[in-house]
Amino acid sequence: MEQKENVCSVAKKCGGCRYQGVSYQEQLRRKQRITEGLLKKFGKVEPIIGMEDPYYYRNKVHATYKHMRNGDIAVGRYEESSHRLVPIESCQIEDQKADEVIQTIRKLAKSFKIKIFNEDSGYGLLRHVLIRTGRKTGEMLVVLVVASPVFPSKNNFVKALRKEHPEITSIVLNINDKKTSMILGERNIVLYGKGYIQDELCGYTFRISPHSFYQVNPVQTERLYKKAIRLADLKRKEKVLDAYCGIGTIGMIASKQVKEVIGVELNRDAIKDAISNAKRNHIHNVTFYNEDAGQFMVEMAEKGEHADVVIMDPPRTGSDEAFLSSVVRLAPNKVVYVSCGPETLVRDLKYLTKHGYRMKECTPFDLFPFTKHVETVVLLSQLRQKPDDYIDVDIDVAELEGTSAETKATYEKIKKYVAEHNDGMKVSNLYIAQVKRKCGIELAENFNLPKSEDARQPRCPKEKEEAIVEALKAFQMI
């Protein structure tokens, strides 16, 4: 019998780790079921690749500070969907050294009488701290996010911090003087070191700056990227386009197997790091462009240029139709899609499979243990026929007997699923009906639901709503 994991004391308030208290093997089973439920219509989903040790994997740690009424300073992160600070001393998924540095900064801020920024009044200096660590190099970058470049006694502060933590290799002052929920501002002032760190991934060295995108779980990222390269089955004469290339990681890893790699990224700072990374690794067949990848591919197609393989690693929101249409227009033989979320992947696969591609292989990776997120790498290849050889047929699924969403699972089945996967949680028919209607599922006419959102009926709590949504996904109702 599997033992439950040790539950974090602030798990319910923080909300960051959905699967706190659930055994790791059960977490993997749930993620596999969810991914299969969403993607099996496109082809076989391979078994999820989990971690041997699912703790303390995050190499990027963010903390917020707040002045308490008793004069003390609290540090932690905001409660889910709110601006209420949850004090946290250590986190089971974050780099332990980074957590120690965050607590030291809290003590130093009090002894140096540094004012903590107040979002309501706009008064104060220290807003956030961001820490990035190199798993293989051991380097550490500390970013102090402040509302003003005037930091009293900053030299002494840096000396005191480095005395406590000599492992810190660089300290940067990031100026964020705008009224915004964004963590980082645009301007950086280096207080100590080079202003960036380096880490190694798949045998290459990468420069990581405060704004750089770099996967937070390097152990699993290395496995995922190696899988993506294997799926692409690259040839020496091929040209690869790395869309959403960030600091150039996956494109450079692919470069030794192909004739040419083109990396395209909108973030200016990431492109600077990418160019620096290529030089650092003595790679000469990669070119980076600070442009919109979709428009770049359209221009390539208009010039009659071609890419054999497109590798795309979009943000969690997925891609958009404008970008996907440009992929179709460029018409690469293969597309390797690295997805941050199976829900948006489904949407994008629907578009690509409708326009001449088919999913050949799909493997989920657990890059974020204890959370609900799943990373997936998918290989798509062109069908032999052109998209124009197909006829689009619109079918009203609701008219087909036994196939509407309403018939896929009874209320009792949904209740049973929720209880089995959420430690015996009980949900009522009313709660299920509310969530189904919210998800756009047509309800039976005899089910008595209020006609307006203001009607005086109990509303489904968020925790139960999320559990019901998970059940609906598992039964392929949404």
* Neighbouring residues of 446: CB distance < 8 A, sequence distance ≥ 6: none
Helix (H) or strand (E) holding 272: helix 268-280
Task: For residue 62, give the 3-state DSSP assignment.
Answer: strand
* Neighbouring residues of 333: CB distance < 8 A, sequence distance ≥ 6: 308, 309, 381, 382
Burial of 119 per CB tally in 10 Å (0-12, 13-18, 19+)? middle
For residues 99 and 131, the answer to whether their CB atoms sit within 8 Å is no
Q: Taking the CB of residue 236, how many other CB atoms lie within 10 A of it?
A: 8
Could you give the CA distance from residue 415 to residue 411 in angstroms, rounded to a whole number? 6
CA diameter of the chain: 74
Q: Looking at this protein, which amino acid is placed at residue 37?
A: G
Cα distances from 76 to residues 3, 102, 288, in angstroms, run 28, 9, 38
State phi, psi for 137 to the nearest 5 degrees. -85, -25
Known catalytic membership, residue 340: yes
* Neighbouring residues of 225: CB distance < 8 A, sequence distance ≥ 6: 201, 202, 249, 250, 253
Tell how strand 140-146 and strand 126-133 pair up: antiparallel
Could you give the CA distance from residue 252 to residue 45 in angstroms, rounded to a whole number? 27
Which long-range contacts does 69-72 make (Cβ < 8 Å, 24+ apart)? Answer: 72/110
DSSP lists the bridge partners of residue 131 as: 61, 142
Q: Which of 14, 17, 340, 362 is catalytic?
A: 340
Question: Which residues are identified as catalytic?
Answer: 340
